[in-house]
Structure 1
Amino acid sequence: MESLITSPLFWLLASIGIILTGISKSGFAGGAGVVAVPLLALVIPVPTAVFLMLPLLLVMDGRTIQYYWRHANWNELRAILPAAIAGIVAGGFLLGELPDKLLKLLLGVISIVFALWQRLAPWLGSMRGSGWLWGSISGLTSTLLHAGGPPINIYLIARNLPKLTWLATAGIFFGAMNALKVVPYVLSGQWPLWLLWLSLALIPIALLGTRLGKWVQGYISDRHFMLCCRALLLFSGLLLVVQSLVQYWG
């Protein structure tokens, strides 16, 4: 812990990753929320980064829900939340067991393909069981890597929701998922108390990020919002693929 507190690089990467995650959550429905863990993983182990981020994600989700909850689409939430819970349960059993480089590679490739191939949207939106497919994948990857944004945005992009409805629905979805993830994280026995205190120290940065995200989305139209979400999905996918390949070659 002492080495982290005195490391300027840790604070720099943590600040960048948390602010971008906060902006993503309250401004772009979590599309680039995967950026924090890869950045933190440059200076701390991936499991440590994952546990460090969970309290911060809960704070950011709470603020995002506070901003937008009146616009939520509850029918969509009923379609994806049960699947996400199943994914979280599976992820809880796989914590520390499944190579994250394989998950990152597969998720990254899927995200890139969808972001670049716009004609996939109508097909994914109408195919049978899409809510269960993407909801469960989101719950699984969120539990293991805090990378639940790309798969659920694949589903939400296909639904063509208005901007505020998208933000509210995604905010409640991620808030519920991250709250449920506390159970397997605690049961894993890998969450030290000192790491929780470090998370609490970073909360002001998380709140700054969500505030910036709310300000940014107010200046973006629905059309540009969709383009931004596709761009963030592409960015997220590329980031995941690059990190997984680095892990394979390392």
Structure 2
Amino acid sequence: MSAALPLTEPLFWLLASVGVVLSGISKSGLAGGAGVIAVPLLSLVLPLPLATALLLPLLIAMDAQTLRYYWRQISWAEARLLLPAAALGVALGTALLGSLSATHLQLMLGVLCVLFALWQNLLPYLTRWRRAALLWGTLSGVSSTLLHAGGPPLNAYLLGRNLVKAHWLATAAVVFALMNWLKVPAYLTLGSWSADVLLCALALLPLAWLGVWLGKRLQGQINEQQFIRLCRGLLLLSGLLLLGKAWLAA
């Protein structure tokens, strides 16, 4: 990877810090719904491949801490449906790395996020039909591999499953953990991790843990209906951010 990290620029550290803390909060408090914000933020000062490479080790660390909080609440009935689909999505995303336009993917994903955030009556039908987990799990794996934006498709599915909040968070956590570890071979093959990238990720690690801790505290302060409304709002916000990013890049 030819681009270098702008380690002496305060704006880079500000955006990286905000993005990492929001991702951590999202992991343990919002089922990944706000995690998509980190990549657009970092992409303001970094090339997209460099932004995703920097975030992946931090996401893996966040997954471990989140699973420690919620392991006992995982809905294995849902996880058994989602995990194979997520793995398939990562495989497809890996095959597309370097060949699919990030702008086109952002545009498609943004449209889906906005559509399913606003069209509430459609979600029950698209999340309860027989192959729904395959569709949304695969889409989550693809978008997670390319953009670390697996949260919106996964939340679009979970939103219609009427899970208890803790089960929603725990199930999302185990799916994200699998997807992020499955991305590692592709990132290694592409040579995404220079010494500077790994050292920068290490410097940001305390903020990642802080974000996960804050997310755990946040989710304990809101009830089920507030949680669903917040996730729907984050789905809409994520979609608008992705559409804005795609429009700026066009």
TM-score bucket (shorter structure): over 0.9
Q: Which residue of structure 1 aligns with residue 243 of structure 2?
A: 241
**2:214 alignment partner, SS class:** helix
Q: Which residue of structure 2 aligns with residue 229 of structure 1?
A: 231
In the superposition, relative to structure 1, how do residues 230 and 5 fare at CA in structure 2: closer, same or farther (>3 Å)? same
Q: Which residue of structure 1 aligns with residue 81 of structure 2?
A: 79
CA distance in 2, matches of 1:93, 1:20: 29
CA distance in 2, matches of 1:237, 1:87: 20
Are residues 1:149 and 2:151 paired?
Answer: yes
Q: Which residue of structure 2 aligns with residue 44 of structure 1?
A: 46
Count of aligned pairs between the two proteins? 248
CA distance in 2, matches of 1:108, 1:32: 13
CA distance in 2, matches of 1:214, 1:164: 10
Cα distance, 1:196 vs structure 2: 1.3
CA distance in 2, matches of 1:213, 1:219: 10
Of residues 14, 17, 21, the one that matches 2:16 is 14
CA distance in 1, matches of 2:4, 2:216: 34
Q: Which residue of structure 2 aligns with residue 219 of structure 1?
A: 221
Q: Deviations over 1:200-242 (max 9, x none)?
A: 1110010111111011111100111011100010000000011
**1:4 alignment partner, SS class:** coil
Cα distance, 1:3 vs structure 2: 6.0
Of residues 118, 122, 129, the one that matches 1:120 is 122
Are residues 1:60 and 2:55 paired?
Answer: no
2:234 is matched by which residue type in structure 1? L
Q: Deviations over 1:177-207 (max 9, x none)?
A: 1011111111222332321121111100101
Q: TM-score, normalised by structure 2?
A: 0.96
1:231 is matched by which residue type in structure 2? G
Q: TM-score, normalised by structure 1?
A: 0.96
In the superposition, relative to structure 1, how do residues 3 and 166 fare at CA in structure 2: closer, same or farther (>3 Å)? closer
CA distance in 2, matches of 1:3, 1:152: 31
Query: Which runs of no fewer than 5 residues in structure 1 stay unpaired?
Result: none
